[in-house]
């Protein structure tokens, strides 16, 4: 479900947390969804962003440098990720995961139009 709440700034903050890069100025949201934080502040957010091919390629090269590993488990996508993916007409070309921090995991999928990214942040 694409929602107006939380505001886009919430997802831009998650983008920066996940990628350690500022949200690209030319990017636009195609889909966004987040759970309500529990009593400990933990939540899940999933969003789809369309950006330039240059940013797409730069991010793909950047993620392994900050500890992400390539994932080949696309047949076991979370329900939240599947829901976000079905809002696009694209398929996942490559995906990366990171669980560096205790209690958090990150997922970044690069879709096959070479401009669209799907990002997920989960904390517990």
pLDDT tens digits, one per residue of 96-109: 999 766 899 999 99
pLDDT at 102: 82
Element (H, E) at 104: strand 104-111
pLDDT at 72: 82
The pLDDT of 83-102, averaged and rounded, is 91
pLDDT at 4: 58
- Cα gap 22→12, rounded to integer Å: 8
Residue 1 has pLDDT above 50, yes or no: no
Q: In the 3-class helix/strand/coil scheme, how is 27-70 assigned residue by residue?
A: CEEEEEEECCCCCCCCCEEEEEEECCHHHHHHHHHHHHHCCCEE
Sheet holding 28-34, edge to edge: 28-34, 44-50, 116-123, 104-111, 92-98, 69-70
Higher pLDDT, 11 or 101: 11
Closest C-alpha to 31, from 124, 93, 109: 109
pLDDT at 75: 63
pLDDT at 100: 64
pLDDT at 40: 79
pLDDT at 92: 96
pLDDT digits (tens, 9 = 90+) for 13-71: 999 999 999 999 999 999 999 998 877 778 999 999 999 999 999 999 999 999 999 99
């Amino acid at each position: 479900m694409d929602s107006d709440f939380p505001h886009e700034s919430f997802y831009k903050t998650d983008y920066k947390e996940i990628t350690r890069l500022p949200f690209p100025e030319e990017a636009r949201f195609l889909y966004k969804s987040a759970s309500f934080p529990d009593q400990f502040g933990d939540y899940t957010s999933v969003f789809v962003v369309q950006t330039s091919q240059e940013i797409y390629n730069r991010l793909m090269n950047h993620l392994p440098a900050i500890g992400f590993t390539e994932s080949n488990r696309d047949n076991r996508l979370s329900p939240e990720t599947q829901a976000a993916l079905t809002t696009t007409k694209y398929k996942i070309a490559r995906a990366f995961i990171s669980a560096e921090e205790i209690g958090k995991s990150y997922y970044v999928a690069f879709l096959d139009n070479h401009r669209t990214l799907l990002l997920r942040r989960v904390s517990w």
